């Protein structure tokens, strides 16, 4: 337990270098998260006999990833970065991986921004290739959480999104301060637990789109609760009511959107059945 509490003192977030460019464990875990989500989606298509081909998923994967990257980066700048006005006048700096001539990578991504970018990319993909939007989103709802586990582990290895100060025996030292390993809490609840619920419920869904709605509500709920163990963003602090972080505000909005969407999709399904 003592070794665990001092794990950051014995761990290098840089896995290796290629031609002088550092490759972080976070980047490796991010790529692994994408591949695991894709491979599991392909397994679901085969096992559940869903109306998508491997080619469909490969093309969609590219669309979705572009949407995720653009949405995550732009979402961070809009919601979390105090220098938003700078990027509005210097848009070419948004994806600039160099700082003062040194390669540092692109830093600063927002999960909630990624969701918006992903949804837009999915909508345009489904429209262009004439795919069932809601069945596609239900497939993603089940396959993404298992990949999300690796993404949060990557945050932990990168020593970012640190937890709040604590005295629990499983806390870890960040500098000289003992903190919650909140990234691992999120990997467990927003990843493994959420995946288990959706994987079990997928055969019981009553209408197309129900799984993505359930994902949105449960993720928002888990994220809202787990933010109490996560240190608020330094540049923002608490943004509402003196105790709510930006992540909690956005999670509440996500839960509200899920409830509205659930009502809409269920009513649409009932009306369709009546017309038949």
In tens, the pLDDT along 96-115 reads: 666 666 655 566 678 788 88
Q: How far is CA 39 from CA 36, 45, 113, 114, 224, in A?
A: 5, 10, 24, 20, 29
Residue 243 has pLDDT above 50, yes or no: yes
Residue 271 has pLDDT above 60, yes or no: no
Name the β-bridge partners of 17. Answer: 22
Each residue of 21-77: pLDDT tens digit? 788 888 899 889 989 999 999 999 999 999 999 999 999 999 998 998 888 888 888
Q: What is the mean pLDDT of residues 214-223?
A: 96
pLDDT at 14: 86
CA–CA dist 101, 20 (Å, integer): 14
* pLDDT band of 276, cuts 50, 70, 90: very low
Tell the burial category of 250 from Cβ atoms under 10 Å away from its Cβ (0-12, 13-18, 19+). buried
Which is nearest to 111 in space by CA: 223, 240, 13, 232? 223
pLDDT at 241: 87
pLDDT at 92: 66
Check: CB of residue 252 under 8 Å from CB of residue 239.
no
Which pTM does this prediction carry?
A: 0.85
Check: CB of residue 174 under 8 Å from CB of residue 161.
no
Tell the burial category of 228 from Cβ atoms under 10 Å away from its Cβ (0-12, 13-18, 19+). middle
Residue 145 has pLDDT above 50, yes or no: yes
Residue with tokens 């928002």: 220
CA–CA dist 34, 65 (Å, integer): 9
């Amino acid at each position: 337990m003592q070794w665990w509490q001092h794990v950051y003192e014995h761990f290098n977030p840089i896995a290796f270098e290629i031609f002088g460019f550092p490759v972080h464990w976070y980047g490796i875990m991010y790529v692994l998260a994408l591949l695991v989500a894709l491979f599991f989606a392909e397994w679901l298509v085969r096992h559940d006999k869903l109306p998508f081909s491997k080619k469909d998923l490969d093309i969609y994967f590219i669309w979705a990833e572009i949407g995720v990257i653009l949405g995550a980066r732009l979402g961070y700048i809009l919601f979390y970065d105090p220098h938003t006005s700078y990027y509005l006048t210097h848009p070419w700096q948004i994806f600039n991986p160099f700082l003062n001539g040194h390669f540092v990578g692109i830093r600063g991504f927002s999960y909630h921004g990624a969701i918006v970018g992903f949804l837009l990319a999915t909508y345009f993909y489904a429209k262009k290739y004439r795919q069932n939007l809601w069945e596609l989103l239900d497939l993603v709802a089940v396959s993404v959480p298992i990949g999300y586990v690796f993404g949060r582990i990557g945050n932990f290895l990168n020593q970012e999104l640190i937890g709040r100060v604590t005295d629990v025996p499983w806390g870890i030292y960040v500098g000289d301060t003992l903190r919650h390993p909140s990234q691992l809490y999120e990997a467990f609840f927003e990843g493994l637990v959420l995946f288990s619920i959706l994987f079990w419920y997928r055969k019981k869904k009553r209408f197309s789109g129900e799984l993505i709605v359930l994902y949105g509500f449960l993720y928002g709920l888990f994220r809202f609760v787990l933010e109490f163990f996560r240190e608020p963003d330094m540049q923002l602090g608490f943004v509402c009511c003196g105790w709510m972080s930006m992540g909690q505000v956005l999670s509440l909005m996500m839960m509200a959107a899920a409830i509205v969407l659930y009502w809409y999709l269920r009513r649409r399904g009932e009306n369709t059945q009546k017309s038949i």
